[in-house]
Homo-oligomer: A and B are copies of this chain.
Amino acid sequence: MTQTDPGFHSDHDHQHCIDQALLTARDLCRQRRQRLTPIRELVLKLVWQNHQPLGAYELLPALAAAGFNSAPPTVYRALEFLQQQGFVHRIASLNAYVGCPHPDRPHRSGFLICHRCKRAIELDTAPVHRALSASAEEVGFRIEQELVEVVGLCPDCQQQEATHA
């Protein structure tokens, strides 16, 4: 993650986010000899509808509307696959899933989550990782996975709160 994600810029061309995510996913699956089935692709698209993490059960009606008679296991399987491929991340504090804007290479993901507009934007956690590594090393702990979820107010919502008041 070198550049800032566009997610908190409310005027960005989000269709571009979606298109890019789907193209990248197709490409990576081809390279990796993985199957991006219709259900998996649809789930990915739905998760990318916007930058707000989506719960697994919120996907079910949309799948039904698209003609898939799916039950929870189907959704969870698709999400599991997409997570394994690095196309989506799970936000533990929300029990929800969000698209990854740079699935091409493995990375440590952290999130800034706005409690007002509900958008979650992926964060560059390299500096956080350095701090964590140092702390962990002090006590001899071997890190395998890092979960960083920050809740607060995004720039847009700060403005709106100020205006409203």
Per-residue interface assignment for chain A, residues 121 to 165, with 1 indicating a CB less than 8 Å from any chain B CB and 0 otherwise: 101110110111011101111111111111111110010000000
- Give 10 closest A-B pairs by Cβ, nearest first: A140-B155, A127-B131, A145-B151, A144-B152, A147-B149, A143-B152, A92-B92, A142-B153, A128-B131, A131-B131
Alpha-carbon distance between A136 and B141 when the two chains are bound, in angstroms: 27
Cβ contacts A to B, 24 pairs, < 8 Å? A4-B138, A4-B139, A92-B147, A92-B149, A93-B147, A112-B141, A115-B144, A121-B139, A127-B134, A127-B135, A128-B131, A128-B148, A131-B131, A132-B150, A141-B152, A141-B153, A142-B153, A144-B151, A144-B152, A144-B153, A146-B150, A147-B150, A147-B151, A148-B148
Alpha-carbon distance between A154 and B114 when the two chains are bound, in angstroms: 33
Band of interface residues on A: 35 or more
Alpha-carbon distance between A136 and B124 when the two chains are bound, in angstroms: 10
Contacts of A154 in B (CB 8 A): 140-141
Contacts of A155 in B (CB 8 A): 139-141
Indicate whether A81 reaches chain B with its CB closer than 8 angstroms.
no
Contacts of A141 in B (CB 8 A): 8, 112, 114, 121, 150, 152-155
Interface residues of A (CB under 8 A from B): 4, 8, 92-93, 110, 112, 114-115, 121, 123-125, 127-128, 130-132, 134-136, 138-155, 158
Chain B: minimal CB distance from A61 (Å): 26
Contacts of A150 in B (CB 8 A): 132, 136, 141, 143, 145-147
B128, B140, B151, B153: which contacts A158 (Cβ < 8 A)?
B140
